[in-house]
Chain A
Amino acid sequence: MNRLKTNFLGMEFKNPMVTSSGCFGFGMEYKDYFDPNVLGGIVVKGITMEARDGNYGTRIAETPGGMLNCVGLENPGVDYFENVIVKNIKAAGIECPIIVNINGKVIDEYVEIAKRVEKIAEVDMIELNISCPNVKDGGMAFGANPDVAGAVTKAVRAVTTKPLIVKLSPNVTDIVHIAKVVEANGADAVSLINTLLGMAIDIKSKKPVLGNTFGGFSGPAVKPVALRMVYQVSQNVKIPVVGMGGISSTEDAIEFMMAGATMVSLGTGLFSNPILPVEIKDGLERFCEENGLENIQEIVGAAHQK
């Protein structure tokens, strides 16, 4: 009996565990350490219409219990993704669902890329990353403004039949409000959290450590914030929640599910422990056995105060 089997947006996942965009490359980078088919699903690195070089200079900085990154969405573009990467993923025998994280600078660009991804049969779901700066409206992230977040969700919804997950930014005053707005505009699920905006300074050179000055903060240090947001959002929307932010053990994954996440996503935790997914899968199975659960989904939202 598979006690981890999870139905997510009409698809059967072997377990409720996916990898976070940007932390698992395009699905095959960790194959020497574990079979990617162990995962429930794979969320690949964010892609854009055109190939992007990303930011120059230092992109990574470790901080206590976490890290900053300013990759700047380096990716090979949707053409290369469609013609080479997707083929390689399938040729490598990866069978679990593939979720593509899409990004744009203006709403039209999101729509264009969503239309392209819609036609790629091997892609099972779309994750809309609304943490990107909205170039047309002054550079504030799409996800920071409820109206813009709603508009981009609606526009993408109109051009895809694939399940649509909207990935929320934590860099907002009221994440629950944004979640409700994207739900109202057609999101099938929300994933949270993306990275928190942060920085580090080198006191010897008196300069910011990151080449881009600011970067996304992730890892165990962000877990309490992420957990709180998952807890709040899941109680206020009807669509399922994919929870992430600092998950690095079975216990962390369980906490996120108890906070209300149907699915959990592993990111930065993979870097220190490349076999983390295998450990969490085994851990969740053991948890089900020890607690007499027929299915892990029974714990989703268990921490909500009734």
Chain B
Amino acid sequence: MFLEDCKILENYQVSENYYLMKIESNKASQHSKAGQFFMLKVKNEIRILRRPISLHFVDKDKNILEFYYEVKGGGTKEFTDLEAGEIMNIQGPLGKGFKTDVLDKKCVVIGGGMGIAPTKLLINDLKKNNEVIFIAGGRDKNAIEILKNLDLEGVKTYITTDDGSAGEKGNVISALCKVLEENKIDMIQTCGPHKMMEAVAKKAQEAEVFCEISLEEKMACGVKACVGCSIKTLDGMKKVCHDGPVFDSKIIVDVNPKENLGCNCN
């Protein structure tokens, strides 16, 4: 894990609300892997917390990190104002990434909306030694415009949108069902809205396929110091920032928040 002042190389709008930022990082770039994330510092100090953003891609030869982000609130809005040449402080790489040390497997990668972010590097790494099938989904064509930035050569790709403005009208689950029917799949890895990943995990379980999902929680420290991003799993409490964000879907349980302690302690 590093703290690094990085020069912004490019920061441009991909579509509507979606942006791509490339930065120069001499240290972190050499140690980053698919599924890990960074805590990016927001300049305006009134926003005291860093923003967790996934690694979209890394070019280890040129020391370039890429982040793909959506404007949600004030912090990500501020990121859009950063211009080439400006400096941003980054903390990372953080967490455990996706499993990529596999050989001769048939892998399915599923990205939904912003969840497409970590799939660029994941696909890049997996396809060197494996067959990769990619399912990408989004609300509309804006949400999947980023696919242009992915190297999908040799990757069988299915694209779905909720409104049918690009690819097939529908969602990633129907595409996954089709893929599972037609192929013997060894591994499924997914990032996207929670509901979508839940459905993917369920399908994976039915088909008895190993499945990894990438979770999101509100984070303060990013290094398991604050215990703010804890989730309950079958293996006990886990920190999304440290034990994840990528987890074996089998250990994830859904917790009814009504079970709360009602304890106002920190």
Contact = CB atoms under 8 A, between A and B. Distances in A.
Given A32-B2, A33-B1, A220 B263 contact: no
Interface in B220-239: 220-230, 232, 237
A283 interface: no
Given A32-B1, A53-B232, A24 B265 contact: no
A215 interface: yes
Interface stretch (B40-48, B80-88, B177-185, B206-214): B40-48
User: For chain B, what secondary structure do more than half of its interface residues adopt (helix, strand, loop), or is it mixed?
Assistant: loop
A33 B41 CA distance: 15
A65 to B, nearest CB: 5
Given A22-B266, A197-B264, A212-B263, A67 B225 contact: no
Contact of B226 (A58, A60, A197, A215): A60
Contacts of B266: 21-22, 46, 69-71, 73, 131, 194-195, 216
B223 A60 contact: no
Interface in A67-112: 67, 69-75, 103
Interface stretch (B105-113, B114-122, B192-200, B254-262): B254-262
Nearest to B230: A74
Interface of B: 1-3, 41, 45-50, 91, 217-230, 232, 237, 255-257, 259-266
Interface string A8-25: 000000000000011111
Nearest to A21: B266
Contact of A212 (B1, B237, B264): B264
A131 B23 CA distance: 44
Contact of A56 (B45, B49, B255): B255
Interface string A216-230: 100110000000000
B224 A54 contact: no
A220 B257 contact: no
A292 interface: no
Contacts of A234: none
B224 A29 contact: yes
Nearest to A24: B225
Contacts of B262: 212
Interface stretch (A256-264, A268-276, A297-305): A268-276
B229 A59 contact: yes
A55 interface: yes
Contacts of B50: 271-272
Contact of A74 (B220, B222, B227, B257): B227
Contacts of B224: 25, 29
